[in-house]
Amino acid sequence: MGFWSSDPPPEVPVMDAATGAISDVYILARYQPELLVAKLALVVLVCFVLGSSPPFKGLAFKLRVYCAGVIHFWASREAKVGNTDRTAVTRPSSLIGVSDVVTKEFIFIRHGESEWNEVFNRSKVMLVPRLVVGIVREFFHMPFKHQSLFLDSPLGATGYKQCDALAQVLNKTPSLSVVAEQGGSTPQSRSVIFTSNLRRCVQTTLIGLQPRLQKTREQVFVYSCLQEAAPNVDTMALTPAKEKPQINHPLADLLDEKYNFGSKRWHERAIKRMNIFLKFSFAREENRVIAVGHSLYFRKFFNEYLDDKSVLPEQAEMAKKKKVPNCGVVKFKVQRGKKTLVNSYRIVPDSIQLLHGQWS
């Protein structure tokens, strides 16, 4: 072939840089193209089968949630407990002396102890062994979308016992009658039950309030505005928006997912979810709202909506500084009114009563 020839240049075999051998791909493409196509088709088929299999989908989903949890941990805008955010809510003390206010009763129930609590919140002496066991267990949970020890941490063994204990005293303790009974025949005389979208709260609701739910068969609303106000990955929800948490319980059919808007975002503030929760609660006809939720969320709630006073009743001070115990029950009243153009909310300080458990 001459320099000025129009013939195409000869094909140059692809050489392996390490051995100098001609690439197998080149040989197949040059001499057995149909075999190369068959091998590529097999690779595509294997990838498709793996990608559509539940274990692979579960693993991919878990990795996404873990990534979201890490981002939330480092970039979360949720204010620390004790640092009030008055840019999003009018000061509660502004309602003092205002006559045109509406009052509604609220009952907070904290979830039972979770698997995360059992690993990290027990004695530090055995933390490393507990953590190693937890990581091994989490490894085997990874292919399953709705199973995890750390993400959206479920109840642990102690938590189940605490929920059972709450169920046993529900109808036997007079002070808990406001929880045990749904109320009268009209909506205004009834109570409504909300639960955080995290699994430990849903489990606590179905187990701890089982005597009431078996009798009333009422709906339990899964509400994402009650999601925990903390940065750890155990506060990230596994249940997607508009879906029911996957809970193995005979009363799970009572769960209503219409208010489940999915897991919180890293740029959200807890105070925003609290304001939405209060606005929504006051828009309902029921005169009593029962919310099953989390210790840090509850403590920040009391810090946000109690008066800025140097001296408060003892129970109000405890609510601001301490945690509601696992499966603890606290009752209080909230006022809603306007002194400016926006609604303001205020917890009545002397209305706070711990009905079950001890401040921790």
CB-based contacts of 81, cutoff 8 Å, min separation 6: 229, 296, 299, 300, 303
Residue 53 reports pLDDT greater than 70: no
Compute CA distances 223 → 199, 241, 276, whole Å: 12, 10, 11
Band of pLDDT at residue 1, cut at 50, 70 and 90: very low
Residue 204 reports pLDDT greater than 50: yes
pLDDT of residue 311: 79
Average pLDDT of the chain, as a whole number: 85
- DSSP assignment of 70-105 equals HHHHHH--PPPTT---TTSS--GGGGTT-SSEEEEE
In tens, the pLDDT along 226-279 reads 999 999 999 999 999 999 999 999 999 999 999 999 999 888 889 999 999 999
Q: How many helices (H) and strands (E) does the chain have?
A: 12, 8
Q: Which residue has the higher pLDDT, 83 or 164?
A: 164
In percent, how much of the chain has pLDDT > 70?
80
Instruction: Specify the pTM.
Output: 0.82
Band of pLDDT at residue 299, cut at 50, 70 and 90: very high
Residue 47 reports pLDDT greater than 50: yes
Q: Which of 51-55, 172-176, 178-182 shows the lowest per-residue confidence on average (mean pLDDT)?
A: 51-55
Q: Which amino acid is at 64?
A: R
In tens, the pLDDT along 211-222 reads 999 999 999 999
Residue 316 reports pLDDT greater than 80: yes
Segment 49-63 mean pLDDT: 74
- DSSP assignment of 248-261 equals -STTGGGEE-TT--
Distance (Å, whole) CA 180 – CA 169: 10
pLDDT of residue 238: 94
In tens, the pLDDT along 7-43 reads 555 554 444 555 444 456 555 556 566 666 776 777 7
Q: Which residue has the higher pLDDT, 238 or 89?
A: 238
pLDDT of residue 113: 96
Residue pair 140/225 in contact by the 8 Å Cβ criterion: no
Phi, psi of 270 (to 5 degrees): -60, -35
| DSSP symbol at 301 | H
pLDDT of residue 41: 72
Helix (H, G, I), strand (E, B), or coil: what is residue 189?
helix
Distance (Å, whole) CA 40 – CA 194: 52
pLDDT of residue 195: 98
pLDDT of residue 40: 74
